[in-house]
Structure 1
Amino acid sequence: MQFTDIDGVTLHFAHRPVAGRRHLVFINALGTDFRIWNAVTEVLGDDVSTLVYDKRGHGLSDLGTTPYSIEDHVDDLAGLIDRLGIEDVALCGLSVGGLVAQGLYARRPELVSGLVLCDTAHKIGTQESWNARIATVKKDGIEAIADAVMKAWFTPGFHAQRTNELAGCRNMLVRQNVDGYIATCVALREADYTGVAASIAAPTLCVAGDQDGSTPPDLVRSLADLIAGSRFEVIADAGHIPCIERPEALAALLHAFLADLPAGN
């Protein structure tokens, strides 16, 4: 296990550099830890250097000071990348991770050679929807929303055929730090990156699971429409977490996207 302190917040990460290969940095969804990327990074193998990490308030990383903004998460990621001495990255952000990716690009465009914005948007949810979720979790814990989240995360086929994995993913969700979960819900509630998305000039791929119940394909397409020259792809038979449900399909899109990027530093 690898840990480092970024401005008083201990982050848990796994860095796998491969000589001569660009770094692909993965940014997790709300209520998950970096194990969601295991199958994708395994498929990619030695074709890319990888960095995965647990956001503050998630996994084995510190809680930090609550509530959060997306910019707090950007601070953590920028600090981690700098600590590791990485100078050229492609970002793959899932859900809230996609907002963090957009925020890092806005702050450090020279660092980011490309973005994969997966099952995300420039603005996710409404004040009302986030307030309702926050109130429920404060009162009854993450367990109270877990079944509804699983329906949004995964397709009916996954629920029917991959029951052991479903149970494990549910465990991952409900065992997250409640304060960290709520703090990130607050960050999502307040985030609007519409202007940032419209300013993105780096090569960008927007990806949606065709049965995503959290950020449906039409919402992800609206993000792609804001970003000049971006590509939009739909992964069939996938919900909100294609890196678990369809890792080979996502890895294939990532591999092709990276292959088309100009040579990095």
Structure 2
Amino acid sequence: MTEKPSLVLVPGLLCTADLWREQISAFENQYSIMVADHTKDDRMPAIAARFLASAPPTFALAGLSMGGYIALEIVRQAPERVTHLAIMDSRPINDTPIERQRRQDFIKLVERGKTFKGVTETLLPMLIHPSRLTDDILTERIYKMAEDIGKEAFIRQEKALLEREELTGILKDIQCPTLVLAGAQDALIPPQIQREMAIEIPTAVYTEIPDCGHLPTMERPEKTTEIMRIWLAR
């Protein structure tokens, strides 16, 4: 029997494998699926190196948000091992000063607090389309992922994001079939930034999902899966 090709999925900040639940279900018969762990290290190179140490020899790689930053770092360290690359609602550039300050404030707030809520009601509008804010099933899944990640891992993740290198310089050298996917109403990472990234990657196809925020795999799972299927067939 032929061994199935590998598909690696990298979650975003405060996200677990549940971010990819529908895609895992859709692809598990065709692919050997692995969800990368991004909770143990506080530097991007270390997160990528830890993953690569236990990863299959070659694999298709998809990352969303923080997962996109990690995916690019994996490509920087081991481009020959990545057969396909999908970067979703992410970017190769560093945070703005305002975004850096927001991360530092979150770390201080969490370090001082006795309880950890992760994603609060005030943060939710940054993550999903306004029309989904009353979708209790979706919002509860988002809250549960943050709760499962927990306080200590969240602080490590934020520190890794604060210290990450800009990776614009590697984009021109990416040779594998690449998908850049954006929610058209992503409030965290404007689609324009994602389009600009796609232009720099010689093999990239850029796609936007309408009526969708920062989490297309959960907000528009069927459309996301359809786009991924086309990407993986390239």
TM, length-normalised to structure 1:
0.79
Tell me the equivalent position of 1:256.
Answer: 230
Tell me the equivalent position of 1:47.
Answer: 30
Tell me the alpha carbon deviations over residues 99-134 of structure 1, each in whole angstroms, 9 at most, x when there is no partner.
111111121111111100011010252243223232
1:72 to 46, 50, 61: 46
Tell me the equivalent position of 1:188.
Answer: 161
Tell me the alpha carbon deviations over residues 212-262 of structure 1, each in whole angstroms, 9 at most, x when there is no partner.
1111211111211221131100012211111111111111111111111xx
Answer yes or no: is 1:95 the counterpart of 2:65.
Answer: yes
Tell me the alpha carbon deviations over residues 153-190 of structure 1, each in whole angstroms, 9 at most, x when there is no partner.
11112112x21321231232245332321222222223
Letter of the aligned partner of 2:99 in structure 1? S
Contact 1:130 1:185 in 2 (8 A): no
Tell me the equivalent position of 2:19.
Answer: 36
Tell me the equivalent position of 1:214.
Answer: 188
CA distance in 2, matches of 1:121, 1:155: 19
CA distance in 1, matches of 2:32, 2:119: 35
Give the match's secondary structure for 2:29. Answer: helix
Query: Which structure 1 segments of 5+ residues have no match?
Result: 1-17, 57-62, 261-265
Tell me the equivalent position of 1:22.
Answer: 5
Letter of the aligned partner of 2:26 in structure 1? V
Tell me the equivalent position of 1:155.
Answer: 129
Answer yes or no: is 1:205 the counterpart of 2:205.
Answer: no
CA distance in 1, matches of 2:107, 2:118: 7
CA distance in 2, matches of 1:125, 1:148: 20
Tell me the equivalent position of 1:179.
Answer: 152
1:129 to 99, 102, 119: 99
Letter of the aligned partner of 1:26 in structure 2? L
Q: Closer, same or farther in 2 for the Cα pair 1:51/1:175, shift >3 Å?
A: closer
CA distance in 1, matches of 2:205, 2:101: 33
The alpha-carbon deviation at position 41 of structure 1 amounts to: 1.4
2:201 to 227, 231, 243: 227
Tell me the equivalent position of 1:238.
Answer: 212
Contact 1:33 1:53 in 2 (8 A): no
CA distance in 2, matches of 1:23, 1:129: 34
Work out which structure has the larger RCO, using CA pairs closer than 8 Å and 6 or more positions apart in sequence: 2
Q: Closer, same or farther in 2 for the Cα pair 1:198/1:138, shift >3 Å?
A: same
CA distance in 2, matches of 1:125, 1:76: 24
Over the matched positions of the two proteins, sequence identity in percent amounts to 24
Answer yes or no: is 1:120 the counterpart of 2:90.
Answer: yes
Letter of the aligned partner of 2:16 in structure 1? D
Aligned length: 229
CA distance in 2, matches of 1:250, 1:168: 18
TM, length-normalised to structure 2:
0.89
Contact 2:118 2:150 in 1 (8 A): no
Tell me the equivalent position of 1:165.
Answer: 138
Q: Closer, same or farther in 2 for the Cα pair 1:219/1:163, shift >3 Å?
A: same
The alpha-carbon deviation at position 94 of structure 1 amounts to: 0.6
Contact 1:43 1:248 in 2 (8 A): no
Q: Closer, same or farther in 2 for the Cα pair 1:52/1:32, shift >3 Å?
A: same
